[in-house]
Amino acid sequence: MIVFLHWVGWAIWLGAQLTFMVWGPVAKRLPLEAWAYTWDTLSKIQRWIVAPAAAVATVTGIVLSMQYAQRDTPEGASLGATWLIVMQSLGLLAGIMTLALATPLVNRLAFLAAKSIESGTQDERAEPVRRKLALVASISGVFILVSLYFSAVKP
């Protein structure tokens, strides 16, 4: 069950995070109301889908690592294997980045979008926040993909 939750967690996490890669750049060219609605919707996706999936994947990854370390098999001797260390480290970093950095940034953008609607013009603080989010989410996404690669290929 833990493995299932781990796989479902990172699959949903990565899939939902791809939504941001499509809609983030598109939103820049939208009129104010559509731009604000987009960031409000993306903040809900982050809060209700991405963050919980990242938390599930991260926690189950830690549990799986602890279970793997307790095995009395020759596999237990491979705890220092490069593929395992890279997979665990990058997965944990991606989880921390998503939960501690990306989620607050998306929520900040949604807040600035609401303020922009009230004022009738896009808040000047929104673009720097969007750029930070793009950087954090891109790094996190690369970490997820590299972690997945090391998990699957075990080079």
Q: Which tens digit of pLDDT belongs to each residue from 67-77?
A: 877 775 665 55
CA 82 vs CA 8, 15, 61, 78, 86: distances in Å:
24, 26, 16, 9, 6
SS3 for 73-132, per residue? CHHHHHHHCHHHHHHHHHHHHHHHHHHHHHHHHHHHHHHHHHHHHHHCCCCCCHHHHHHH
pLDDT-derived band at 102, boundaries 50, 70, 90: very high
CA distance 33 to 25: 16
Mean pLDDT of 100-114: 97
Which residues make Cβ contacts (< 8 Å) with residue 75, sequence separation at least 6?
A: 68
pLDDT at 72: 59
Number of compact structural domains in the chain: 1
Q: Which tens digit of pLDDT belongs to each residue from 38-78?
A: 999 999 999 999 999 999 999 999 998 888 777 756 655 56
Which residues make Cβ contacts (< 8 Å) with residue 61, sequence separation at least 6?
A: 6, 88, 91, 92, 95
pLDDT at 66: 85
pLDDT at 69: 74
CA distance 15 to 24: 15
pLDDT at 84: 84
Q: Supply the pTM of this predicted model.
A: 0.87
Determine the structural domain holding residue 32 and report its residue range: 2-153
CA distance 33 to 35: 5
Token pair of 90 as six digits: 């990058």
pLDDT at 60: 96
Token pair of 130 as six digits: 């969007």
Average pLDDT score over the chain: 91
Q: Are 133 and 24 in contact (CB under 8 A)?
A: yes
pLDDT at 65: 85
